[in-house]
Amino acid sequence: MPVYRIFRMKETERQRFRNAPHTSGVMMAKPKDYLEEGTVDAPTLYSAWTLLKDTRDPLAVGDILGCPDGDLRILKYIGFEEARWIIPEVKSGLENVPPAAGPVVIEARTTTA
């Protein structure tokens, strides 16, 4: 039976999510806004929702289920829609360094006495 990973949206973000207008298409989610809280064994995505519905921690709007194939599905008012993690770009600290203009040439100076 497939195992779905449960990612709960943090409450501060949930309020923002609930008040935002519905958009269709892929939802881009930030991993920092979620807490992974276990797994659920279910034959389908909606079976997982049904199994959790009558527990003390049912899925709420904004929560994400991680599918066995690695896909993510976010729970919205209309059902589940595709989601993806926004992976932050790793910065090296060299972004603001201007590119080199070529090799440095040092001129030899001669002194006359």
Q: Write the pLDDT tens digit of every residue in 62-77.
A: 999 999 999 999 999 8
Domain of 38 in residue numbering reads as 3-85
Q: Tell me the CB-side half-sphere exposure of residue 38, using CA atoms within 13 A.
A: 7
Examine residue 80 and state whether it is found in any structural domain, yes or no.
yes
Digitized pLDDT (tens) for each residue of the chain, 113 residues in all:
999 999 999 999 998 888 888 778 899 999 999 999 999 999 999 999 999 998 999 999 999 999 999 999 999 988 999 999 998 777 766 666 666 655 666 666 666 65
Q: What pLDDT does residue 69 have?
A: 95
Examine residue 59 and state whether it is found in any structural domain, yes or no.
yes
Examine residue 109 and state whether it is found in any structural domain, yes or no.
no
Handedness of CA 65, 67, 73, 78 (dihedral sign): negative
Q: What pLDDT does residue 87 have?
A: 84
Q: What pLDDT does residue 100 have?
A: 62
Examine residue 68 and state whether it is found in any structural domain, yes or no.
yes
Element (H, E) at 18: helix 11-19
Examine residue 33 and state whether it is found in any structural domain, yes or no.
yes
Examine residue 110 and state whether it is found in any structural domain, yes or no.
no
Measured distance CA(57)–CA(60) in Å, rounded: 9
Q: What pLDDT does residue 46 have?
A: 95
Measured distance CA(31)–CA(55) in Å, rounded: 25
The DSSP bridge pattern shows strands 79-85 and 27-29 to be parallel
Number of domains in the chain: 1
Instruction: Please give the model's pTM, rounded to 2 decimal places.
Output: 0.75
Examine residue 91 and state whether it is found in any structural domain, yes or no.
no
Examine residue 25 and state whether it is found in any structural domain, yes or no.
yes
